[in-house]
C-alpha cells in the first residue's frame, strides 16, 4: 500500500456465548483472542450476562457478552477469523443447533452493510429476538444504528426471563 492509498476501518460488533468448560473464562480468553485478530482493534467489551439456554435443548445456562471492533478485514474474512478462534478454543462444528458449546462467536453488525448469504447474515437475524444478544450490545453501543432495525437503544427488550448481569 502506498502512502496515497487509504484502507478504511469498519466498525463490527461480535456476540459471544459459552456454556461449557468454564464459560466466563472462555469469554474472557476470547476477548484477548479478538484483540489479536490481524488488522483489527478491540474497542470495547460488555459485562458478562448469564442467560437460560435458547432453543429448547436441555443444557447448562450460558454466559454471554458483546465486543466492539474496528477492522480492515471484510465481513467474510472477519467471520473466518471468528471461526478460527472458536476452533482454537475447542468448538466442534456441526453440533446440535442451539446446543451446548464451548464458544460461539457471532458477527452481529458489520458497518452499515446488510449481507444475506447461506453462511453469513448481517445484521445477525437474532439481535432483536434475544436479550442475551441485545442487552450486552446495548451496553457497549446504545447509539449504534443497525441497518434495517434502527438504533440499538430504541429496540425493545422482550420478556425473555432468566438473564442477569454477572460481571
Show which residues are catalytic. Answer: 91, 101, 104, 106
Longest dimension (CA), the chain: 56
Cα-based angle 108, 138, 109 (whole degrees, multiple of 5): 20
* Complete DSSP assignment for 106-167: EEEEETT--EE-SS-EES-TTTTT-HHHHHHHHHH-TTPEETTTEEGGGSPP-----EEE--
Amino acid at each position: 500500500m502506498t502512502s496515497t492509498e487509504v484502507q478504511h476501518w469498519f466498525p463490527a460488533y461480535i456476540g459471544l456465548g459459552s456454556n461449557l468448560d468454564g464459560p466466563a473464562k472462555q469469554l474472557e480468553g476470547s476477548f484477548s483472542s479478538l484483540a489479536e485478530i490481524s488488522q483489527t482493534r478491540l474497542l470495547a467489551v460488555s459485562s458478562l450476562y448469564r442467560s437460560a439456554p435458547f432453543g429448547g435443548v436441555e443444557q447448562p445456562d450460558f454466559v454471554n457478552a458483546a465486543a466492539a471492533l474496528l477492522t480492515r478485514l471484510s465481513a467474510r474474512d472477519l467471520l473466518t477469523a471468528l471461526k478460527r478462534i472458536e476452533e482454537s478454543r475447542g468448538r466442534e462444528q456441526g453440533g446440535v443447533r442451539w446446543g451446548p458449546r464451548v464458544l460461539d462467536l457471532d458477527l452481529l453488525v458489520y458497518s452499515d452493510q446488510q449481507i444475506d448469504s447461506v453462511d453469513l447474515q448481517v445484521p445477525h437475524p437474532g439481535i432483536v429476538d434475544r436479550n442475551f444478544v441485545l442487552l450486552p450490545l446495548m451496553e457497549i453501543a446504545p447509539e449504534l444504528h443497525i441497518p434495517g432495525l434502527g438504533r440499538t437503544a430504541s429496540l425493545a427488550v422482550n420478556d425473555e426471563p432468566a438473564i442477569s448481569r454477572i460481571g
